A and B are shown apart, each in its own frame.
Chain A
Amino acid sequence: GAGVSQTPSNKVTEKGKYVELRCDPISGHTALYWYRQSLGQGPEFLIYFQGTGAADDSGLPNDRFFAVRPEGSVSTLKIQRTERGDSAVYLCASSPFTGGTGELFFGEGSRLTVL
């Protein structure tokens, strides 16, 4: 596709359940980012991939959060034992540049609601 695609657009789950959020970056973009945006806040950095490896996962809030990018393209953000505080919009972005010098191209986000 022409842009960053995120699925699902909306996800409602119950507390304690497992959730997967998918990001399909722009073809050829080597850098991929996950951000979390709570209501009324700016995006909060979670993790950054360069190729298949997580170059920086310092933003993941705890060990319930995990992300993979096995083939250097599609990435999945996995949340175990979801809590109500995990409710937010999860944004994915990709970039053709290394070193954080360039524009990030964002998807429309996945809105997660934990009941």
Chain B
Amino acid sequence: AQTVTQSQPEMSVQEAETVTLSCTYDTSESDYYLFWYKQPPSRQMILVIRQEAYKQQNATENRFSVNFQKAAKSFSLKISDSQLGDAAMYFCAYTRNNDMRFGAGTRLTVKP
């Protein structure tokens, strides 16, 4: 079964600085999708960024970008110019056939 591992239970960043959240996954498939979701205290999961495994180019969404290393099965999220509103739980997720699997999450704190 596919597994997703987030090795950083908590991370902290100073406002306006850059932080990188790590994610690794295990799969024998070559075609799949990876996601980063944000979960604020309101509990609603919000999509941050998505990467298709067949694309070599790293996805970027404004201040959010990923470093996708397919051979290493690594999918890290970089948040630039961190803002107070970025504080939340961040979940890495993998999907191929409908059953999206999530990591345990990283709690990001942003210090003013």
Contacts and interface: CB of A to CB of B under 8 A. Distances in A.
A48 B99 CA distance: 7
Contacts of B97: 56, 99-100
Choose among A40, A41, A58, A100 the residue with the greatest number of B CB atoms under 10 Å from its CB: A100
A108 B99 contact: no
Nearest to B98: A100
Interface stretch (B55-63, B76-84, B102-110): B102-110
Contacts of A103: 35, 47, 50
Interface in B18-75: 33, 35, 37, 42-47, 50
A8 to B, nearest CB: 13
Q: Main secondary structure on chain B at its contact with chain A?
A: loop
A100 B35 CA distance: 11
Interface residues on chain B, size class: 20 to 34
B111 interface: no
A59 interface: yes
Contacts of A89: 43
For this complex, into which size category does the number of interface residues on chain A fall? 20 to 34
A42 B45 contact: no
Given A42-B103, A104-B45, A106-B37, 15 more contacts: A40-B105, A44-B102, A45-B100, A50-B98, A91-B45, A100-B95, A100-B96, A100-B97, A101-B95, A104-B47, A106-B45, A108-B42, A108-B44, A109-B43, A109-B44
B98 A99 contact: yes
Interface of A: 31, 33, 35, 40-45, 48, 50, 55-56, 58-59, 89, 91, 93, 99-101, 103-104, 106-109, 111
Nearest to A3: B44
Nearest to A109: B43
Nearest to B99: A45
Given A43-B102, A103-B50, A93 B91 contact: no
